[in-house]
Amino acid sequence: MKALRKLVLGETWTIPIGVALVLVVGLLLRGDGWWVGFVLLAGVIATLSAAVRRVP
């Protein structure tokens, strides 16, 4: 189970939490216009930056 969790969610909680936040923001802004895609991209970039900052 540990291997399966690591496979799906990865080695840190930063990425699943970040992706969940990106999804929530996307759902809140749904249908507001083309710029929502760039908000999602910014959220993903922030998630990556936070995940890389937590170097093991």
Partner 1 sequence: MITAWVLTAAGAALAVGLELLEALAIVLAVGVSRRWRDAVLGAAAAVVVLAVVAAVVGPVLLASLPLDLLRCVVGVALLLFGLEWLRKGVLRLAGRRAPSSSLREYLEEREAMEALPPAAPGRPDWPARVVAFKGVALEGLEVVLIVAALSGGSHGAAPAVVGAGIAVLAVGLVGAVVHRPLARLPESHLKYAVGLLLTSFGVFFLAEGLSVAWPGGDVALLYVAAALLVVSQLQVRRIA
Write out the residues near partner 1 by the rule CB under 8 A.
3-4, 7-12, 15-16, 18-19, 22-23, 26-27, 29-31, 33-34, 36-37, 40-41, 44-45, 47-49, 51-52, 55-56
Q: What does each C-alpha distance from 49 to 42, 44, 46 come to in angstroms?
A: 10, 9, 5
> Smallest distance from the beta carbon of 30 to partner 1, in angstroms?
5
> Smallest distance from the beta carbon of 54 to partner 1, in angstroms?
9
C-alpha count within 13 angstroms, C-beta hemisphere, residue 24: 6
